[in-house]
Every structure is written in C-alpha cells, then in structure tokens.
Structure 1
C-alpha cells in the first residue's frame, strides 16, 4: 500500500485544535524530548506510522480515546497500577494549520490500516512525509467513532502543551476521571500487586 495507490484525501486542520496523549512522566534512556512531548526513540518502528529517521507523536481526539489507544487496548487483559503511576495525560493545541492524509473511512477497503502489520502502514507514512504532509489522521481502532492523529516532527514543533495531569493523583489513590471512565468502559481490571 503506497500513497499513490491509496490516494487518500488531504485534510487541512485549523490551528487551535486540542489533542490528547498519554505519555511517561519521566524520560527514559533514548527517549526523545521535543516541545513538551516525551516520545519513543527514533527509528524503533514500533508504532503504526513510525518513521525510521524522525520522531512521531500519536494523539487522540479525547482523553478517553488516548487511554483506549495506549493503556486499555482491547487485546490487553489488565492494566497494572504502576503503569498508571508512571504516566500523565497531556493536552496539546495546534498552533498552525496542518495538512494531513485522512484515512478515516478507508478501513473497510483496507483492513491493514487497523491490523498489527505495521510495515505496510509505516511505508505509507514515509510516502506521506515525502509528499510534505504534517501527519496522518485515522480512525481509532480501539474507540469507535473517534479519531487519532500521528504527527511528524514539523507538526510536533507546531503544537504547544496546554495541560498535563497525572493519571493517579499524587499522594492518593484517586484516578483521573478519564482513566476511571476508560477502565469502566473497557471492563478491564486495574491490578495493584
């Protein structure tokens, strides 16, 4: 699957849109720190639209969608308390217009867009980058009727961090409301052993 064959619509989203992501509180060795993001090491190619030569950031249209995509995925059986303690919910705002390949609605014709065969979608992401696009807009595979975005480096630099909230309130056992909602919606137990 390449850009030419798929021929996705190009969507330009306006500035001042808010997107959400779950990320680690602290930077691990090899992590990329960029504009308020704590990102996976470049070149790891572990995400659906990862690029080999620049960082990518995955965000969602709501806090719950960000949690379903990262912590409460349908193939996972439980969520460990320690994973929640290590992460924050961060909101970012776009500061400029961004041009994105819009893959929403193409999943029926191309199920690979939501499969675990990432080599195909990573090749597509490289094609998008070569087309000068800022990223890819796609349907959440975990939260129906919701959208996610993968931003390439240039777009990451055109966002600003708005807020960051720990998934578990410091010094308490209080979960961020969106965490409680996602745990309830996924019917996934949170394990504290």
Structure 2
C-alpha cells in the first residue's frame, strides 16, 4: 500500500508541547534502541503496524488509558500476568517542536487494513510516508474507540522529551497503577498471579 493508493493524504501538526503516552518495558533488554528514557525494540523486528525497516519507530497514544489498551489490554489478550505488568512503566513525553504527521484517521472506515494484522500493507505505507518526509503517522486506535495513536519515525523521536515515568506496579506494595487497573476492568482481561 502506498500513499498514492489513498484518495487524499492530509497532514496533522503535532504541536509543542503536546503530551503523548506510552507503556514500555521498565528496563532495556539486549538490542533495545534507547533515545533518552524512550526504550524501543530493534528496528529490524518489524512487529509493529507502521514499522519501517532500519528506522526506529515509537508508538504513542493521546491518553494514558489508550496506551494501556494498546500495549497490554488488547482485544486479543486472554489474560495478563502481574509479572508482565510489573516489568512495565507509563512514560509521558512532550513534543519540543512541531512534528508533521500523515493523518490516517479519516481513512479507518474505508481502509480497514489500517487496523488489521496484515502488517505488510501498513508497513509499506509507513515506509512511503517516511520516504516522503513525514515525521510519523497519526491513526485511530484499534483498541479504544475514538482515540488517536501515533507512530513517530527515526530522527523525529529525539524531539519527544520525557516529562515523567511511573511504574505500573508500585514497588514494595504491589499496588496497580490506576491506568492499568482501569484498563483491566474495562477490557475484562483477567489478572493472573
């Protein structure tokens, strides 16, 4: 799928100091791409909807609860372990400059592939958008209705500065962060110990 397949390709300016949210591992693993406090998987994996070969791509949501649904309480999730949650943190970043993104939100109903698991098509679209100079893509969440998600490419990631990070399980007490507790309740995904 290419940008030329779309009837129109509107832009969206993510203005500074817009805040974005992400659930990520609390500790880096082998091969992790580190950009400040942002921890990303290796750019060779191509596991994400808008991954571009050889380019780090960071996935974010417009709200903390959307980040929880996107990362952990997904529709296909049948159970979530406390150990998995304990190894994750909620990261808030703020844009330090305006980023021009390809806006795919209005295409979600006519192009259901944009929310499907047929990733080769959306990855091809992302590679085309990156090649044409977009800093990333804004798209509809497949996990939470009427919410936006963001895929930010390569060098544009350095424009996202960490504002704060919070563990999803409080060390010492084992208390769940309110964001993950609400996502588990809303998704009815059982917590296992």
Task: Normalising by structure 2, report the TM-score.
Answer: 0.97
Residue by residue over 1:159-188, the C-alpha shift from the partner in whole angstroms, topping out at 9 and shown as x without a partner, is: 100110000001112111111110110011
**1:176 equivalent in alignment to 2:174:** no
- The reply to whether residue 5 of structure 1 matches residue 5 of structure 2 is yes
Aligned length, in residue pairs: 192
Distance in 1 between the 2:87 and 2:73 partners?
A: 15
> Which stretches of structure 1, 4 residues or longer, exceed 6 Å deviation after superposition?
none
- Provide the residue aligned with 1:70 in structure 2: 71
Question: Matched residue of 2:90: which SS?
Answer: strand
* Structure-1 residue corresponding to 2:116: 115
1:105 is displaced (CA, Å) by 2.1
* Cross-structure match for 1:19: 20
Alignment of 1:28-107 (within 5 A): 28-107=29-108
TM-score w.r.t. the length of structure 1 is 0.97
CA distance in 2 between counterparts of 1:133 and 1:43 reads 20
Q: Deviation at 1:127?
A: 0.5
- In the alignment, is residue 158 of structure 1 matched against residue 159 of structure 2? yes
User: Superposed, which structure 2 residues align to 1:118-133 within 5 Å?
Assistant: 118-133=119-134
Query: Tell me, what secondary structure is at the counterpart of 2:73?
Result: coil
| SS, match of residue 136 in structure 1 | strand
Q: Alpha-carbon deviations, 1:43-93, whole Å to 9, x = none?
A: 110000001111000000111100100100011111111001101000000
CA RMSD of aligned residues (A): 0.8
CA contact (8 A) 1:35 1:159 kept: no
Q: Say which is worse superposed, 89-98 or 31-40, in terms of deviation.
A: 31-40
